[in-house]
Amino acid sequence: MKIDAIRFDQLKMPLVSPFETSFGREIDRECVLVTIQSEGVTGYGECVATHDPGYNYETTGTAMHILKDFVTPLILGKDIKDALDFQQRVSGIRGHNLAKAGVEMALWDLMGKRENKSLKELWGGAREKVEVGVSIGIQESASHLVQSAADYIQQGYARIKIKIKPGRDVEDTSAVRAAFPNIRLQVDANSAYSLDDAKTLMPLDDLNLLLIEQPLFEDDIWDHRKLQEQLKTPVCLDESIVSPRHARYAIEMKACRVINIKAGRLGGLSQALMVHDLCMEHNLPVWCGGMLETGIGRASNIALASLPNFVMPGDISASDRYYARDVTNECFVLNSDSTIDVPRGAGLGVTIDEKALKDFSLASLQFHNT
Ligand code: OSB
Ligand code: MG
């Protein structure tokens, strides 16, 4: 695929409700939309960095810089064979996985469109619809949280994830468990605890949770192993798994029993596929994480979650849980069995609402091969 032109749009989109985690509160979601022109075909990708370096060190600002000054010169005018060829070309850029993954997604969209195959078909997805859940941010109080969970359960979500942080953990989680004794429930700390203060999390072990996600520091796989030894509940790693290598470390160390796969955090969909396969070989279940994506990233997540080892519900909710207006013409809806249909169209299987894109754009960079 000869790369004829590439565009990066830094977008800022209002969320339908604020999303609060242990690292901060988002009212608007930023991201970078990647558009690549190749031999008359247009491919789209989403870089899931946001305004603040809270989830990891990247931001929309660093992503625009890395994409413009380092990634673009390596691919513009070049003939890119496939995703692994792309990974090879950008392997000299340390880190910045979210930036790289946005471009790789656009390449997959192009490859699918050229071959007239959906991403699910390209990857050998095993299902037509994927099981999903909802991730609920930290609320004003435990009773507000219970109300929010009740609303989502009413809408049809059969799995609830709640965000926790020190001081807002056992009481909040217990309240949701008491209100919904049978709901599939899990928690996510986004690296808010040290091994010492993780002692306060021990009561969570008796709440019949599916998993406890990323309780400890993002660069600390070893302490997660020490914590997992003390818990019946599976530990799930999110932030710590930034490459297939890190997935192997975690498996070998027995640091977790579940892995959350996010193509962005791993540096690209090709890397996500590798982690999926590695976990399957080791009988470790995976599920698809979310980064409050637009319809572009959401289409990619749903296609990924159609692969066989995605055996737990993903953080993939319906479009209207996030945005009143999205950048895709298509929107994703929740089926009555807490699933979302896998797109069938070529590539990502979605189209762009150019007007929405323009309205949400904060900054735009465009490069042509001359
Ligand atoms: O840790 O899973 C996370 C959103 C932004 C950053 C990190 C995380 C999340 C979520 C939301 O939990 C998942 C979603 O997109 O619904
Ligand atoms: Mg997480």
Look at residue 266 and give its three-state secondary structure: helix
Q: Is residue 91 a contact partner of residue 300, using CB atoms and an 8 Å limit?
A: no
Q: Quick check: 370 pLDDT over 90?
A: no
Q: What is the DSSP letter of 319?
A: G
Known catalytic residues are 163, 262
Give the mutation target among 134, 148, 292 for probing the ligand 1 site: most ligand atoms within 8 A of CB: 292
Q: How much distance in Å is there from the Cα of 135 to the middle of ligand 1? A: 7
Report pLDDT digits (tens) over 261-294.
999 999 999 999 999 999 999 999 999 999 999 9
In short, whether 186's Cβ falls inside 6 Å of ligand 1 is no
Q: Ligand 1 test: best mutation among 291, 293, 323, most atoms within 8 Å of CB?
A: 291
How many Å separate Cα 2 from the centre of its chain?
A: 28
317 lines ligand 1 (CB under 6 A): yes
Residue nearest to atom 8 of ligand 1 (CA): 291
Q: Which residues surround ligand 2, an ion (CB under 5 A)?
A: 188, 213, 238
pLDDT digits (tens, 9 = 90+) for 134-179: 999 999 999 999 999 999 999 999 999 999 999 999 999 999 999 9
Question: Both ends of the chain: CA-CA distance in Å?
Answer: 16
> What residues have CB less than 8 Å from 99, skipping those under 6 apart?
32, 47, 49, 58, 62, 63, 66, 67, 71
Give percent of the chain above pLDDT 90: 99
Q: What DSSP string runs through 102-138?
A: HHHHHHHHHHHHHHT-BHHHHHT---SEEEB-EEEPP
Residues 291-319, mean pLDDT to the nearest whole number: 98
pTM score: 0.98
Do the strands 129-131 and 339-341 form a parallel or antiparallel pair, or are they unpaired?
antiparallel
Domain range summary for the chain, segments of one domain joined by + = 5-116+350-368, 121-341
As a whole number of angstroms, the distance between CA 343 and CA 355 comes to 23
- What CATH number is given for 5-116+350-368 in this structure? 3.30.390.10
The answer, yes or no, to whether any atom of ligand 1 lies below 6 A from the CB of 188, is yes
CATH fold label, 121-341: TIM Barrel (3.20.20)
Amino acid at position 302, single letter: I
> Across the chain, what does the average pLDDT equal?
98
